[in-house]
Amino acid sequence: MSQYQRLFLMVGSDLRHTPAMERAAALARVTGATLHITAFIEEVDTLGLMSGDEQRLQTLVTDNRQWLADEATLLHENGIRVTTDVMLTRDVLKAVLTQVVEIGPDLLIKDVQHQSTFKRLMSTPLDWELLRECPCPVHLVSAVHCPLPRIVVAAVDPTHPEHPYSDLNETVIKAAADLAQQCNAELHLLHVCDSAHTHMSDFGAGTITMPGFGNDVRKSIHKAFEHLAERHEIPVDRQHFLSAPITRSIAEFVAHSRTDVLVMGNHTRTLTERMTGSTTEHVVDHPLCNVLAIRAQA
């Protein structure tokens, strides 16, 4: 039986084909999963200055319903079971999370919404909020080399086996292995050591930093990484142990290796991370990174 039984694709109201739609349709076709597509239309009301345009909103809703109906017909013709919905809401995050609870999807798929640094300072990006709040795995798609992934990379942190989040490594690897198996893709393992800072970032996002970070520590981490790869039978040529600034090195690795999906762990945020963003959230902002974020179990 396929791992994926229900896929949930959320789209905007601009009525166009996107990388996320292409990826969702391909995954539904190969896995036999039911695909539910919802177009979310944000009803903006800033101090009442933009309210009252009911006719425009209703036209937008009608256009979206027709577009989704046409898309559903095409998907049905390609053997995909699909349902659609249009939601008009003033709180997109709340509406998405409500649908996730109602549908119970195995995976939420969405196009990455790139925002400027200034805009991120003014408000938290929706993509970041979904990574923090969504109870199911989230696949944020920026670009696709091909509809189905060919190279799936699990980013892990083997530095603290006794840490409460160490089980996230296993969850990340399993999610990556399941996706690779269903898509007949290669499975790779990645860890990045970053000695430039003095904090520890996401478990499962592949970084550990500390004062006095030396060769002995790096060798110890490398050996733990190799043991983790060996336990999951990942060939040596698909093991990638990097030493560089975390976000930049992951982005460069994705670009050079033509990684299709980077599977990363996601866990409860500290106050600083909630304000500035975690490793996973910053990697999502890179235009070449398609991230599958796996949330740590409480």
pLDDT, mean of residues 76-101? 96
Binning pLDDT at 50, 70 and 90, where does residue 115 land? low
Which H or E element spans position 153? strand 151-155
Provide the pLDDT for residue 204.
47
Report yes or no on 132 lying in a domain.
no
Domain ends where: 57, 84, 111? 111
Q: What is the model's pTM?
A: 0.84
Residue 260 CA to residue 130 CA, distance in Å, equals 21
Residue 234 burial class via C-beta count within 10 angstroms: exposed 0-12, middle 13-18, buried 19 and up: buried
Report yes or no on 25 lying in a domain.
yes
Report yes or no on 266 lying in a domain.
yes
Portion of the chain with pLDDT greater than 70, in percent: 76
Report yes or no on 155 lying in a domain.
yes
pLDDT in tens, 252-290: 888 888 899 999 988 655 433 443 345 666 566 565 679
pLDDT in tens, 175-217: 999 999 999 999 999 998 866 543 344 444 444 444 455 677 8
pLDDT in tens, 117-142: 545 444 578 998 999 999 999 999 98
Tally of structural domains, the chain? 2
Residue 284 CA to residue 138 CA, distance in Å, equals 11
Instruction: Look at residues 130, 38, 18, 135 and name the one whose alpha carbon lies nearest to residue 89.
Output: 38
Q: 63 with 12: CB under 8 angstroms?
A: no
- Tell me which long-range contacts 65-69 makes (C-beta under 8 A, separation of at least 24): 67/15, 67/39, 68/37, 68/39
Provide the pLDDT for residue 26.
97
Instruction: Look at residues 101, 85, 83 and name the one whose alpha carbon lies nearest to residue 93.
Output: 101
pLDDT in tens, 220-259: 889 999 999 999 999 999 999 988 777 778 888 888 888 9
Distances, alpha carbon 75 to alpha carbons 36, 154, 165, 206, 261, in Å: 11, 30, 39, 37, 23
**Domain limits at 88?**
6-111
Report yes or no on 119 lying in a domain.
no
Answer with the residue of higher pLDDT: 230 or 163.
Answer: 230
Domain ends where: 62, 80, 111? 111
